[in-house]
Amino acid sequence: MTSYRLPKGGLIDRATTLNFKFDGKSFTGHAGDTLASALIANGVHLMGRSFKYHRPRGVISAGASEPNALVELREGGRKEANTRATMIELYDGLTAKSQNRWPSLDFDIGAINSLVSSMFVAGFYYKTFMWPKSFWEKIYEPIIRRAAGLGTASREADPDKYEKSYAHCDLLVIGSGPTGLMAALAAARSGGRVILADESSRLGGSLLDEREEIDGVSGLEWAEGVIAELSAMPNVTLMPRATVFGWYDGNIFGAVERVNDHVLAPSVHEPRQRYWRIIAKRAVLAAGAEERPVAFGGNDIPGVMLASAMRTYANRYAAAAGKSVVVFTGNDSGYRTARDMKAHGVHVEAIVDSRGGTKADAGGVPVLRGRMIADVSGGKAVTGITLDDHTHLACDAVAMSGGWSPVVNLACHRGAKPSWNDTILGFVAPDVGKDFIVAGSAAGRMLLSECLADGAKAGTLKGRAPAIPKCRDEAFAVSPLWWVRQAQGKAFIDYQNDSIAKDLPLAAREGYRDIELAKRYTTTGMATDQGKLGNVNAIAILAEATGRSMDQVGTTTFRPFYTPVAFGAFAGPFTGHHFQPVRKTPLHDWADELGAVFVETGLWMRSSWFPREGEDWLASASREVVATRERVGICDVSTLGKIDVQGKDAGAFLDRLYCNTFSTLAVGKARYGLMLREDGVVYDDGTTSRLAEDHYVMTTTTANAAKVMAQMEFAHQALFPDLDVTYVSVTEQWAQMAIAGPKSRATIQKIVDGLEMNDQTVPYMAALDISVLGGVPARLFRLSFSGEHAYELAVPADYGNMVARAIMQAGAEFGIVPYGVEALSIMRIEKGHVAGGELNGTTTAADLGLGKMMSTKKDYIGRVMAGREGLVDPQRQCAVGIRPMNADDRIRSGAHILTQGDKPSMANDQGYITSVAWSPMLEMCIGLALVANGRARHGEVVQVWDGLRGHKVEGVICDPVHFDKENRRLHA
Amino acid sequence: MLIACPHCGTRPVEEFTFLGDASVKRPTSTDPSSMEQWHDYVYLRNNPKGRFDEYVHHSGGCRAWLVISRDTATHEVFGCVTARDHGKAKGGVA
């Protein structure tokens, strides 16, 4: 293999040799190389295959816009697909694979698509796979999906870490070329906090790629001087390897810093990438300009590249794109490539200039004026060119320059559109205000002196701008050069998606004149490079085809992200267990010791049942119910929301929140409360206790705890700000357990301090401050959800496990059992208590049989709207009990209720079952349902129709209280 | 987007929960004849292009309910006061 490494020059460290593998083959390069430059230096020009035609491809660019040289970088969990070889810093041990080829890059069967390419015109898929319709889903789409796609994602977990970080600054400078360096220097000298970000591994921008002279030294030396000054200043942060990918509201910029993409693996305590959110008082976009390709036949054959890229490979990386070069240009910058290549000792066959004349210096290279390249010959490498006058020239590399497009992307991320500038032949950024200034060639200022001056002006925050260094400007004159129509071969516009110049007039003829439609019809600009290279050519060709100006056609929409950002960077450290917290109750350890099976309820882990050997969940829950109802059981109810409410107006505040009244509640008592939404529908329920004249503690359902808290804050601060009240969530501060069953009092009695428990000292609905176990502060509530004689005991969270264990011990002689939320739920259905299934955002207090709770003596949230006609209609669905006619039949939640004799259909729907349990007390399925006019229908036999599961049985509507209707057990 | 909370200073928008139109005023009457006013209060919300006062909750911060004045087209935030102060400025609340 011939070496294409230039004997001297370049910013590579020739003393450091790095080994790497491409498609399994070993190569060497130097520190400072990219994967692309190292491959070129090794004579490897074929780096990938195109998307549709599987055409052999090499690099087109030397930077972020690269559409062709996409590789799978690294292996295993670290594999990253569609990575641009032009942006990958070479490191020792790097491995990369080419994509979109089978069986090999050199011989790819998919390339047969190219032979039948007349079929693959724009809109091919839409036109071809229309018929027969049924074939699309089963046959066409799967085949297309398999053929399409570039790299493949790894199925292994990414072993590396990612971080997220915030940064604040007075001035963010994006791009570290001449404009960016001057802007950063100006701002830094005026004392502002400056961040200078650049996507490259090394700061300096175009000064690294070009041979310039500034202030009597080389551009590179000048840049190094500025960078040294900046890096010594404490108010400056330099961020190489950081791509600013988006501009957002509030002058916030998103950036991704590739902290460790340039090493084999990050060290243990370092992230691979860091996602930055930069809040900038002011920002300067100094992203420079992007050179455009030209559409001529075979403009994709490996060896054809942008003229500036060829210079960069030679000047920065000391890699020659070929041994004999032809430059094709319609502007003066192409001449620099000819001169630079010649200076590096590479033969330059000719400059082909589409224009009649120019002042640019050809450096002694022959210039063919008024000529264009029509076609490039070669397959996997360039062998020569044919001009539009049929002249043939032999060469092995072609440098092309269609002109320059300012990189305006970020300035357009919030909706502003760029406008066409006829002098520079490029779209320039709109004015987006004083906080984000586009400067230098990103603003269409194409001369070095303009860039330096523009940067200094944009970066000066106060005082005088720094002196502008002296430099010599290269000529910049440009004529339109989009498409050579004499081309015989395919002239590519969007390389990655294989859209060709002819596709655009075709799209226009078929009615897709709008650029956004033409984009989607031809797929131009839809690849991973998002049209960075091809879009302006596409717009120009479409403008010509439709007789419109560039501005009339306009650009497609610029959106973040400027270049692809890995998901890992967005996720940051919030993966796996760090994705969301796990909330464990203060009684978690106690429940775990007793073998609880936990269930996730929101973020909470709740003890669900406590199985014994051989029991399934139903057997366990049923046993827990029976034991509790016969003897005594204990259940963790700590997840209920608990809010401490204090202040002179605490009672008045609760009166506004709940539909029933709390200001009249006696100290030492609890009351069930029902909260409505302002539209009159039930919101939440729970018991609230009055511990002192100005002190209440309220409970909410587990699910609504946070929402109720926010609602209270709104009600107090926005609606009733004059109330003297304060409140705080104490959900996490208290461990709360329900102790239920005929032996509950006897059990608790054994651990309370100095209190003889009876119906006088602890009456039904009592709420008392007590102490247990010789001084542990506690709150004792005589409440019952199970319908048994029952209590809830709350102790400070850290005492929870200890007190629960003590209760287990105290209750041992009575045969106490722990019970979980399944048993709790069975018991509440047996007692007809409403819960989540019934408080479902559609039911009113009256629907739930709680209409009497609604006070008529006070204002409360939801009062007036609850009185609307539709909400008081007697035909509304209301809560009833439901049972199967035959005790052996099963009924299920979600089944619909139909009148006997009606045909099963939703048109005949009378309501549906909201909760079901198998009752061990009644030994049958029982449920609660919402049924139209249900309270008047107790005893009616109905159809229970489960259309989803294809199941229908007879059921009977009954009172919602299935068990112990007289509440004898409650007061026992 | 950044919001200058009167208690916490300038904070990112992710810390806040948006509720909506802060120009609505809860009716004071509980008489059924006031149903029209209640209907408007519960259901009718303006959605203007341009400057808009809206309730936001600093749910990831001090938990104060605030009213921000924001341009709905550009997301420029002109000011931020507590809901309590906004209520006073509106001429008292229910």
Query: What pLDDT shows up at residue A147?
Result: 55
Q: For A580-588, what is the mean pLDDT?
A: 95
Q: Give chain B's count of helices (H) and strands (E).
A: 2, 6
Cα angle vertex A595, ends A589, A601, to 5°?
Answer: 70
User: What is the Cα–Cα distance from A41 to A320, expressed in whole angstroms?
Assistant: 7
What residue of B is the nearest CA neighbor of A166? B12
* Cα–Cα separations (whole angstroms), residue A558 to A255, A437, A535, A601, B73: 17, 17, 11, 42, 18
Strands B17-21, B51-57: pairing kind: antiparallel
Q: For B16-34, what is the mean pLDDT?
A: 94
What residue of B is the nearest CA neighbor of A251? B1
Which residue from B57, B63, B75 is facing A249, i.e. has the nearest CB? B75
Are B67 and B80 within 8 A, CB to CB? yes
User: What is the Cα–Cα distance from A277 to A246, expressed in whole angstroms?
Assistant: 10
Query: What pLDDT shows up at residue A128?
Result: 61
User: What is the Cα–Cα distance from A441 to A428, expressed in whole angstroms?
Assistant: 9
User: What is the Cα–Cα distance from A782 to A971, expressed in whole angstroms?
Assistant: 10
Which residue from B13, B64, B75 is facing A717, i.e. has the nearest CB? B64
pLDDT in tens, A792-809: 999 999 999 999 999 999
Whether the predicted pLDDT of A110 surpasses 80:
no
Residue A265 CA from chain centroid, whole number: 25
What residue of A is the nearest CA neighbor of B33? A864
Q: For A846-865, what is the mean pLDDT?
A: 96
Are A401 and A337 within 8 A, CB to CB? yes
Mean pLDDT of chain A: 94
Which residue from B27, B31, B87 is facing A718, i.e. has the nearest CB? B87
Query: What pLDDT shows up at residue A153?
Result: 85
Whether the predicted pLDDT of B91 surpasses 80:
no
Quote the crossing angle between the two packed helices A219-231 and A178-189, to the nearest 10°. 30
Whether the predicted pLDDT of B64 surpasses 70:
yes
Both tokens assigned to A677: 């939404």
B53 CB neighbours in chain A (<8 A) are none
Q: Which 825-884 residues of chain A touch chain B by CB within 8 A?
A: 859, 863-865, 867-868
What residue of A is the nearest CA neighbor of B3? A250
Whether the predicted pLDDT of A140 surpasses 70:
no
Count the neighbouring beta carbons within 10 Å of the beta carbon of residue A956: 16
pLDDT in tens, A903-937: 999 999 999 999 999 999 999 999 999 999 999 99
B55 CB neighbours in chain A (<8 A) are 714, 718
A867–B55 CB contact, under 8 Å = no
* Cα–Cα separations (whole angstroms), residue A721 to A660, A715, B4: 21, 8, 22
Query: What pLDDT shows up at residue A826?
Result: 98
Q: What is the greatest pairwise CA distance in chain B?
A: 44
Query: What pLDDT shows up at residue A941?
Result: 98
Query: What pLDDT shows up at residue A50?
Result: 85
Q: Which 721-760 residues of chain A touch chain B by CB within 8 A?
A: 721
Query: What pLDDT shows up at residue A117?
Result: 67
Residue B89 C-alpha, separation from nearest chain A C-alpha, in angstroms: 12
pLDDT in tens, A504-526: 999 999 999 999 999 999 999 98
pLDDT in tens, A248-297: 999 999 999 999 999 999 999 999 999 999 999 999 999 999 999 999 99
B89–chain A Cβ distance below 8 A for any pair: no
Query: What pLDDT shows up at residue B94?
Result: 38
Taking phi over 0 as left and psi of -120 to 50 as alpha, with beta for the rest, B47 belongs to: beta
A1 pLDDT band (50/70/90 cuts)?
Answer: very low
Residue A276 C-alpha, separation from nearest chain B C-alpha, in angstroms: 14
Cα angle vertex A966, ends A964, A969, to 5°?
Answer: 60
**Backbone torsions φ then ψ of A710, nearest 5 degrees:** -65, -35
Query: What pLDDT shows up at residue A144?
Result: 59
Query: What pLDDT shows up at residue A104?
Result: 75
Both tokens assigned to A196: 């200078």
pLDDT in tens, A21-52: 999 999 999 999 999 999 999 999 999 888 88
Q: Which of A107, A62, A89 is nearest to A98 (CA)?
A: A107
Query: Environment class of residue A104 by beta-carbon count within 10 Å: exposed (0-12), middle (13-18) or buried (19+)?
Result: exposed
A574–chain B Cβ distance below 8 A for any pair: no
Quote the crossing angle between the two packed helices A617-630 and A821-830, to the nearest 10°. 60
Query: What pLDDT shows up at residue A912?
Result: 97
pLDDT in tens, A723-752: 999 999 999 999 999 999 999 999 999 999
A719 CB neighbours in chain B (<8 A) are 26, 93-94
pLDDT in tens, A807-836: 999 999 999 999 999 999 999 999 999 998
Residue A638 C-alpha, separation from nearest chain B C-alpha, in angstroms: 23
Q: For B47-73, what is the mean pLDDT?
A: 96
Query: What pLDDT shows up at residue A249?
Result: 92
- For residue A174, give the H/E element and its range: strand A162-174
pLDDT in tens, B68-88: 999 999 899 999 999 999 988
Query: What pLDDT shows up at residue B81?
Result: 97
B55–A252 CB contact, under 8 Å = no
Whether the predicted pLDDT of A99 surpasses 50:
yes
Q: Which of A67, A53, A62, A14 is nearest to A34 (CA)?
A: A62
Q: For A427-435, what is the mean pLDDT?
A: 95
Query: What pLDDT shows up at residue A146?
Result: 56
User: What is the Cα–Cα distance from A523 to A530, expressed in whole angstroms?
Assistant: 10
Pairs of CB atoms within 8 A across A/B: 73
CA torsion A494-A498-A503-A507 (nearest 10°) is -80
User: What is the Cα–Cα distance from A335 to A444, expressed in whole angstroms?
Assistant: 20
Lowest-pLDDT range of A136-140, A259-263, A791-795, A960-964: A136-140
Q: Which 29-48 residues of chain B touch chain A by CB within 8 A?
A: 29-32, 34-35, 38-39, 41-43
Residue A180 C-alpha, separation from nearest chain B C-alpha, in angstroms: 25
B35 CB neighbours in chain A (<8 A) are 864-865, 867-868
Q: For B8-14, what is the mean pLDDT?
A: 93
User: What is the Cα–Cα distance from A674 to A682, expressed in whole angstroms?
Assistant: 7
Whether the predicted pLDDT of A242 surpasses 70:
yes
Which residue from B17, B42, B93 is facing A719, i.e. has the nearest CB? B93
B77–A252 CB contact, under 8 Å = no
Query: What pLDDT shows up at residue B93?
Result: 44
Query: What pLDDT shows up at residue B89?
Result: 78
Question: Which residues contact residue A664 at a Cβ distance below 8 angstroms, ignoring those fewer than 6 apart?
Answer: A651
Across the strands, what pairs with A604?
A583, A601
B19–chain A Cβ distance below 8 A for any pair: yes
Query: What pLDDT shows up at residue A542?
Result: 96
Whether the predicted pLDDT of A499 surpasses 50:
yes
B31 CB neighbours in chain A (<8 A) are 864
Query: What pLDDT shows up at residue A732?
Result: 96
Both tokens assigned to A425: 């032949």
Query: What pLDDT shows up at residue A464?
Result: 87
Question: Which residues contact residue A134 at a Cβ distance below 8 angstroms, ignoring those fewer than 6 apart?
Answer: none
Residue B34 CA from chain centroid, whole number: 23
Both tokens assigned to A468: 């502008």
* Count of residues making up chain A: 972
pLDDT-above-70 percentage for chain A? 95
* Count of residues making up chain B: 94
Query: What pLDDT shows up at residue A4?
Result: 96
Query: What pLDDT shows up at residue A725?
Result: 98
B34 CB neighbours in chain A (<8 A) are 864
Taking phi over 0 as left and psi of -120 to 50 as alpha, with beta for the rest, A911 belongs to: left
Whether the predicted pLDDT of A149 surpasses 70:
no
Across the strands, what pairs with B69?
B53, B79
The DSSP 8-state label assigned to residue A202 in this structure reads S
Which residue from B12, B30, B64 is facing A864, i.e. has the nearest CB? B30
Q: For A356-382, what is the mean pLDDT?
A: 95
Q: Which of A470, A489, A412 is nearest to A443 (CA)?
A: A412
B75–A250 CB contact, under 8 Å = yes
Query: What pLDDT shows up at residue A490?
Result: 95
The DSSP 8-state label assigned to residue A268 in this structure reads T
A718 CB neighbours in chain B (<8 A) are 55, 65, 83-84, 86-87, 93
Q: For A349-358, what is the mean pLDDT?
A: 95
Question: Which residues contact residue A403 at a Cβ distance below 8 angstroms, ignoring those fewer than 6 apart?
Answer: A291, A292, A330, A331, A424, A425, A426, A478, A480, A481, A536
Q: Tokens 């990655």 — which residue?
A: A496
**Backbone torsions φ then ψ of A536, nearest 5 degrees:** -65, -40
* Cα–Cα separations (whole angstroms), residue A53 to A65, A100, A396, A484, B40: 21, 10, 23, 21, 61
B15 CB neighbours in chain A (<8 A) are none
